[in-house]
Amino acid sequence: MGVTRLWRTIRLGLKSLWLHRLRSLLTVLGIVFGVCSVIAMLAIGEGASYEAQEQIRSLGSNNIIIRSVKPPDEKKTSSTTTYMVEYGLTYADISRIRATIPNVTVMVPGRVIRTDVWNAKQRVDCEIVGTVPWYPIINNHRVERGRFISELEMQAVSNVCVLGHDMARQLFPIDEPMGKTVRVGSDYYKVIGVMELKSHRAVAGTSNGNGGGDKGSGQTPQASPADSSPATDRMFIPLTAARRRFGEILIKSSSGSRAAERVELHEATVKVDSPEHVVESSLIISELLKRNHKKKDYELVVPLELLRQAERTKRIFSVVLGAIAAISLIVGGIGIMNIMLASVTERTREIGIRRALGAKRRDIVLQFLIETVLLSGVGGVIGVGLGLAIPFFITYFAEMKTIVTFWSPLIAFSISGLVGVIFGIYPALRAADMDPVEALRHE
């Protein structure tokens, strides 16, 4: 009997809402936009956080990255003076770190020189990275074709290179690059490998560091800013070859003055044996560099700390986005309450007739609660549908990664139902508290 009465009340609520279709549709829009924004904003935030954390993870949770940073230029007393600026990491720093910290297992020093690379008439302005054979393992990069630099080639100072995926495609749009040669200045390098496309992190870099002069090149090679381009846009050569071919000093001339810059290494990646020793080792490295560098011409990047900070930021971001989207749900709930209060006034005589025919207060309360829950429920369903569709379109058209978690639609829909109950209680109680006699007299 109770089920029959409940079903009858639901049918009555549906009929009442259907009689005012446009008003009901406009009423649920607040809930629709609220639920939709909760899901969509959380999906965008989750996707952005995931990408940020993946980029940090690609640096290696056991790694400590040290980069050379050019200190601010000092004031020059004469416009025709020649001066030397020496800064950044040195090979002595690498030796000291290796000898001092027992937890260090691997070190990857690197130099970066920006210049033109040629294949016949094809030219690419890129970053040439002088590095060591174990670079791909430490930096989570992979070789798609061929192989990476070997230790024998390091010792022999061989002119071999590994091209980034995009760079290989630009230099060799038709031919297969493997086994071919590319020209840098007057030197030729044999292509022995091509990096995988998905490598998107820059390798060795510095704020304003510069390499040595290019032999016979019309363009002076320069070191590039840290993390300025992905590995797909780089050319990798043995560190020994980079040191011999490009040197460590670059001389610039402008307005009657000449400036020379000397940088031995632009970046070094230090890998420790376990994540527990990362922070401790980074503090020791910082202290070692502070003692041996008069100026702060370096910076330390600890991916593990960045990852933890990114996770904390993600939690804060999710709470803020959820709170902003919840405001839309509250506004929608207020709209439902407003319409239901108007509906109570319009249906005063109907309420009086129902009470006169034997309906109890709980029947009136249940009727109006069901109507508000139906409104919020329908709005929640439409909002969930839009909330699942919007991230898809954002990913497709804007090429932004979005992640819809399993719990976000459930939470958004549950909140919409809860909003319907909370904001429907007062109109339902107001309708139930009407005097049946006064309600029947209402015109």
pLDDT computed for residue 176 by the predictor:
92
> Are 47 and 147 part of one and the same domain?
no
pLDDT computed for residue 192 by the predictor:
96
> Are 251 and 104 part of one and the same domain?
yes
Of 140, 87, 127, give the one whose Cα is nearest residue 225. 127
Q: Is residue 424 part of a domain?
A: yes
Output Rg (C-alpha) for the chain, integer angstroms: 34
Of 290, 297, 305, give the one whose Cα is nearest residue 97. 290
Beta-bridge partner residues of 252: 259
Considering 223, 247, 273, which residue would you say is the last residue of a domain?
A: 273
> Are 68 and 19 part of one and the same domain?
no
> Are 69 and 182 part of one and the same domain?
yes
- Residue 202 CA to residue 200 CA, distance in Å, equals 7
Q: Is residue 88 part of a domain?
A: yes
Cα(first)–Cα(last) distance of the chain, in Å? Answer: 34
pLDDT computed for residue 236 by the predictor:
95
> Are 92 and 48 part of one and the same domain?
no
pLDDT computed for residue 256 by the predictor:
59
Per-residue pLDDT of the chain (443 residues; tens, 9 = 90+): 466 766 766 777 777 777 777 878 888 888 888 888 888 888 888 888 888 777 777 777 788 999 998 887 654 444 445 567 888 899 999 999 988 888 888 888 999 888 899 998 889 888 899 999 999 888 878 899 999 999 999 999 999 999 999 899 999 998 899 999 999 989 999 999 999 886 444 333 333 334 344 443 444 455 444 443 456 678 999 999 999 988 877 666 655 566 677 888 988 999 888 888 888 899 999 999 999 898 888 999 888 888 788 778 878 877 887 777 778 778 888 888 888 888 888 878 877 887 777 778 888 888 888 888 888 888 889 999 999 999 989 888 888 888 888 888 888 888 888 888 888 888 888 888 887 767 676 65
Per DSSP bridges, beta strands 143-146 and 104-119 are: unpaired
Under a CB-based contact definition with an 8 Å cutoff, are residues 270 and 103 in contact?
A: no
pLDDT computed for residue 442 by the predictor:
63
User: Residue 294 is encoded by which pair of tokens?
Assistant: 């008069």
pLDDT computed for residue 151 by the predictor:
94
pLDDT computed for residue 191 by the predictor:
95
Of 129, 302, 133, give the one whose Cα is nearest residue 202. 129
Q: Is residue 300 part of a domain?
A: no
> Are 42 and 123 part of one and the same domain?
no
- Residue 29 CA to residue 18 CA, distance in Å, equals 16
pLDDT computed for residue 279 by the predictor:
86
> Are 115 and 49 part of one and the same domain?
no
The amino acid that residue 319 corresponds to is V
Domain count, the chain: 2
Under a CB-based contact definition with an 8 Å cutoff, are residues 135 and 203 in contact?
A: yes
Considering 273, 298, 321, which residue would you say is the last residue of a domain?
A: 273
Q: Is residue 314 part of a domain?
A: yes
Under a CB-based contact definition with an 8 Å cutoff, are residues 220 and 185 in contact?
A: no
> Are 225 and 136 part of one and the same domain?
yes
Q: Is residue 124 part of a domain?
A: yes
Length of the chain: 443
- Residue 141 CA to residue 128 CA, distance in Å, equals 16
What range does the domain containing 122 cover? 63-273
- Residue 131 CA to residue 135 CA, distance in Å, equals 7
Considering 224, 255, 273, which residue would you say is the last residue of a domain?
A: 273
pLDDT computed for residue 221 by the predictor:
54
CB under 8 Å to 390, separation ≥6 — which residues? 36, 39, 40, 43
> Are 151 and 209 part of one and the same domain?
yes
